[in-house]
Structure 1
Amino acid sequence: MTIRDWSFSISDPRSLREVLGTPPPPLTEYELVSFHIDEREASVALGFFSIGQPAGAAITWQEKGHNAVEFFLVCTGVERLSVEGWSTEPFTSVSLTRSHVELSGEGKRISFDVAEIRADAPIGRLASRAP
Structure 2
Amino acid sequence: MTASNDWPELRDLYGASAAPDLNTCHFFHVHIDERGTSVTFGFETSQLPEHPKPEWTASAYNTLRFWVEFTGVSGLRVSGILAEAKRAVRITNGGGPDPDRLEVSVASETRSIAFSATASRVTHTRVHLKGPI
Q: Give the shorter-chain TM-score range.
A: 0.7 to 0.9
Normalising by structure 2, report the TM-score. 0.79
**Identity over aligned pairs, percent:** 28
Deviating beyond 6 angstroms after TM superposition, the runs of 4 or more aligned structure 1 residues are none
Residues 28-107 of structure 1 mapped to structure 2, 5 A cutoff: 28-90=23-85, 92-98=87-93, 99-107=102-110
Match of 1:112 among 70, 94, 115: 115
Higher mean alpha-carbon deviation, 75-84 vs 51-60, is at 51-60
CA positional deviation for 1:89: 2.2
What residue ranges of structure 1 are gaps of 5+ in the alignment?
A: none
What residue ranges of structure 2 are gaps of 5+ in the alignment?
A: 94-101
Counterpart-to-counterpart distance in 2, 1:121 and 1:40: 21
8 A contact 1:45–1:73 mirrored in 2: yes
Structure 1 residue aligned with 2:96? none
When the two chains are superposed, the root-mean-square deviation of aligned CA atoms in Å is 2.1
Residue 125, structure 1, aligned to residue 128, structure 2? yes
8 A contact 2:4–2:10 mirrored in 1: no
Structure number with the bigger relative contact order (C-alpha 8 A, sep ≥ 6) is 1
Structure 2 residue aligned with 1:7? 5
